[in-house]
C-alpha cells in the first residue's frame, strides 16, 4: 500500500493511493496514520479494504508528511560507502546516529525555507524507515517486524551550522522545513528488497546525486536493531538511513542552495518529491 496524508498543514487527513492513481480518503476508517494504526494488524485491515468504495480526493490536494505523531526523527551519518569515500572518511564501524528535530518535518512538496543566516544549505536524498510498533532492544532477526514501511526523506542540512558552529550536527539538520517526508508511506510488502533501490536528486534540472541503496553500509535490520538499543522507537518514528554521493559540500567548487531554486528527488518504488527553495521571511510565528 501507498499510504499518505493530505490537506492543509496541521489539518491533514489519512488516505491512500489506489492502483488507479487516485487518492482515496481513509478518514472514515481511521483517524490518522499514527500510533496503533501503523501496527501490522491494522495495516492488514487497511490492505483488505475495497478501495473503490472510498471517496476520491482531488489530485491537486497538498500532501503532508505521510505519518503523524513522530517522536524520534533519527538520522544516520556516512552510511553509504561511496559517500564516505566522497567525504574522505573511513566507513564507520558502527552506525553514526544523530537526531533531527521533529519540527523540521514537512510535506514532500512544501517549500524549503532557508535559515535567516544560511550560508551552506545542502541537499541529501535518503531512504527512510518508518516504525510501526514500539521497539526496544530488538534483535536484528526480529527488526523487520517493527517496520511499517518506507518513504523518501530529503535530509536538508545547513553545513555551517552543522560543522562550523560548535560541531553539533543536530543544529544544522533541524531548521523548519528541513525534513520533507513522503509522498507516501510504502508498506513493506511492496518493497521486498530495500537493498537495491535507485535514487536521484536534481537541483534546477541538473543531476546532483545518483545512487542506490545497495551502497548502504548498515541495512534496515541492523539500523532498527542498533537504534533500538540507544532509544525506544515508537510508531511513527523515522530513521533516515544516509545519502549517496553528490552533496553540495563535496563538490569542487562547493555548491549550495539559493532562493528560487527547485530540488527534485526520488527513490525507486517510493515516489518523488519537489521543493522550491525560498528565503527566510522575518515574521512572527502565530
| pTM score, whole prediction | 0.96
pLDDT of residue 40 exceeding 90: yes
**CATH code (residue 223):** 3.90.850.10
Rounded average pLDDT over 241-265 = 96
DSSP assignment string, 66-120:
S------EEEEES-BHHHHHHTT-PPPSS-EEEEE-GGGEE-TTSPEE--TT-S-
- Distance (Å, rounded) from C-alpha 173 to C-alpha 160? 11
pLDDT, position 284: 46
Q: How many CB atoms lie within 10 A of CB 220?
A: 22
What average pLDDT is seen over the chain? 95
With a CB cutoff of 8 Å and minimum separation 6, the contacts of 57 are 6, 15, 22, 23, 24, 25
* 173 within a domain of the structure (yes/no): yes
Query: How many distinct structural domains can be found in the chain?
Result: 1
Read off the C-alpha cell for 227. 537504534
pLDDT of residue 202 exceeding 60: yes
Q: Please compute, for residue 128, the number of CA atoms within 13 A of its CA located in the half-sphere on the CB side.
A: 37
pLDDT, position 166: 82
Rounded average pLDDT over 223-247 = 97
**Position of cell 478518514?**
27
Distance of CA 207 to the CA centre of its chain: 20
* Per-residue model confidence as pLDDT tens digits over 3-19: 999 999 999 999 999 99
CA distances for 174 relative to 36, 75, 98, angstroms: 27, 11, 11
Domain extent at residue 198: 68-278
**Position of cell 533531527?**
100
CA distances for 138 relative to 11, 38, 195, 228, angstroms: 34, 18, 20, 6
* Per-residue model confidence as pLDDT tens digits over 146-189: 999 999 999 999 999 998 888 788 999 999 999 999 999 999 99
pLDDT of residue 99 exceeding 70: yes
The length of the chain is 286
* 17 within a domain of the structure (yes/no): no
* 102 within a domain of the structure (yes/no): yes
**Position of cell 552533496?**
247
* 261 within a domain of the structure (yes/no): yes
* 60 within a domain of the structure (yes/no): no
Helix (H) / strand (E) element for 40: namely: helix 40-47
With a CB cutoff of 8 Å and minimum separation 6, the contacts of 189 are 1, 47
Pick from 48, 67, 114, 40: which is nearest to 240 by CA? 67
CA distances for 61 relative to 18, 51, 57, 110, angstroms: 15, 19, 7, 12
Q: How many CB atoms lie within 10 A of CB 207?
A: 11
pLDDT, position 282: 57
pLDDT, position 167: 75
* Per-residue model confidence as pLDDT tens digits over 50-90: 999 999 999 899 999 999 999 999 999 999 998 888 878 78
In this predicted structure, which of 98-107, 213-222, 275-284 has the lowest mean pLDDT?
A: 275-284
pLDDT, position 34: 97
pLDDT of residue 286 exceeding 60: no
Question: Is residue 144 helix, strand or coil?
Answer: helix
Q: How many CB atoms lie within 10 A of CB 204?
A: 12
- Please report, rounded to a whole number, the percentage of residues in the chain having pLDDT higher than 70: 98
- Distance (Å, rounded) from C-alpha 225 to C-alpha 18? 32
Amino acid at each position: 500500500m501507498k499510504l499518505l496524508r493530505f490537506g492543509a498543514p496541521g489539518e491533514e487527513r489519512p488516505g491512500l493511493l489506489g492502483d488507479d492513481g487516485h487518492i482515496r480518503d481513509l478518514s472514515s476508517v481511521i483517524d490518522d496514520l499514527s500510533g496503533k494504526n501503523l501496527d501490522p494488524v491494522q495495516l492488514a485491515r487497511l490492505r483488505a479494504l475495497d478501495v473503490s468504495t472510498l471517496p476520491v480526493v482531488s489530485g491537486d490536494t497538498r500532501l503532508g508528511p505521510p505519518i503523524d505523531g513522530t517522536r524520534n526523527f533519527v538520522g544516520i551519518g556516512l552510511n553509504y560507502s561511496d559517500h564516505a569515500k566522497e567525504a574522505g572518511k573511513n566507513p564507520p564501524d558502527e552506525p553514526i546516529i544523530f537526531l533531527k528535530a521533529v519540527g523540521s518535518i514537512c510535506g514532500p512538496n512544501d517549500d524549503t525555507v532557508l535559515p535567516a543566516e544560511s550560508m551552506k544549505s545542502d541537499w541529501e536524498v535518503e531512504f527512510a524507515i518508518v516504525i510501526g510498533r514500539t521497539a526496544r532492544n530488538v534483535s536484528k532477526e526480529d527488526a523487520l517486524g517493527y517496520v511499517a514501511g518506507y518513504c523518501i526523506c530529503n535530509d536538508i542540512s545547513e553545513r555551517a551550522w552543522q560543522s562550523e558552529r560548535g560541531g553539533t550536527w543536530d543544529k544544522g539538520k533541524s531548521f523548519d522545513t528541513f525534513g520533507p517526508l513522503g509522498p507516501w508511506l510504502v508498506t513493506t510488502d511492496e518493497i521486498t528488497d530495500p537493498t537495491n533501490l535507485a535514487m536521484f536528486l536534481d537541483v534546477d534540472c541538473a543531476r546532483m546525486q545518483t545512487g542506490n541503496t545497495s551502497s548502504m553500509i548498515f541495512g534496515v535490520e541492523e539500523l532498527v536493531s542498533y537504534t533500538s538499543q540507544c532509544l525506544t522507537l515508537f510508531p511513527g518514528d523515522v530513521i533516515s538511513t544516509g545519502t549517496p554521493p553528490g552533496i553540495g559540500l563535496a563538490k569542487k567548487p562547493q555548491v549550495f542552495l539559493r532562493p528560487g531554486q527547485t530540488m527534485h528527488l526520488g527513490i525507486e518504488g517510493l515516489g518523488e518529491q519537489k521543493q522550491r527553495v525560498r528565503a527566510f521571511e522575518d515574521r512572527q510565528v502565530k
